[in-house]
Amino acid sequence: MTTSAPPPAGSAAGAPGPSGGPSGGSVTDRLVEANRRYAAGFRDPGMDARPVLRVAVVACMDARLDLHAALGLELGDCHTIRNAGGVVTDDAIRSLTISQRALGTRSVILIHHTGCGLESLTEDFRHELEDEVGQRPPWAVEAFRDVDQDVRQSMQRVRTSPFLPHRDDVRGFVFDVHTGLLREIDPDS
């Protein structure tokens, strides 16, 4: 993210926080204001919901990964499915299934990245949560130590899903957050 010029006195942008009042100041207020400017210049391209490139990208939610810029994607080109780690969870499979069966995608690209927050977590995270709130989450943390191996596991989950009709074109990558380059992972090594 880049810094912007200092806001004028009384502007909402000066004090971002979750509890901004009616005069603004919360990050959401800033984003809603940005949307007004976006909509002012928006021209409806008239496309339908089917991705032009017939591709779905499953990627980590990491803030340093700008998928459209990094992959040269344009509006309408692809489905993007993001979560912590870019993990192929049951819910990611749900989205991929709808993407392929209802909206015509054929290819799947998986993108993990260097320096992922999940590398510093373990499944102890779940136990600590249980200790704190008295309830164990039903989901796995999906922490990992070896990002290459985690990409292979995600590719395997796509390739073995009975719900997906298109499992041939599945490729996995690690995005380097320092260079911006993708490194492809060999599924068989």
Q: Which residues bind Zn ion (CB under 5 A)?
A: 60, 62, 116
Shortest distance (Å) from residue 154 CB to Zn ion: 12
For residue 120, give both structure tokens: 């510093």
Q: Which is nearer to Zn ion, 11 or 122 (CB)?
A: 122
Our CB check for Zn ion shows the closer of 38 and 139 to be 139
Cβ neighbours for 183, distance < 8 A, ≥ 6 positions apart:
173, 174, 175, 176
Q: Which is nearer to Zn ion, 96 or 116 (CB)?
A: 116
Q: How far is the CB of 113 from Zn ion (least distance, A)?
A: 5
Beta carbon of residue 147, minimum distance to Zn ion (angstroms, whole number): 9
The least distance separating Zn ion from the CB of residue 117, rounded to whole angstroms, comes to 5
Q: Helical H runs in the chain?
A: 27-40, 67-71, 90-103, 124-133, 147-159
Least Å from the CB of residue 67 to Zn ion = 13
CA dist 166 and 104 (Å) reads 10
CB burial of residue 36 (10 Å; 0-12, 13-18, 19+): exposed
CA distance 33 to 68: 22
* Closest distance of CB 22 from Zn ion, Å: 36
Q: Which is nearer to Zn ion, 93 or 111 (CB)?
A: 111
By beta-carbon proximity to Zn ion, the closer residue of 60 and 96 is 60
Name residue 174's beta-bridge partners: 112, 183
Q: Report residue 53 as tokens.
A: 């490139």
Using CA atoms in the order 74, 52, 93, 147, what is the torsion angle rounded to 10 degrees?
-40
When the beta carbons of 62 and 142 are compared against Zn ion, the nearer one is 62
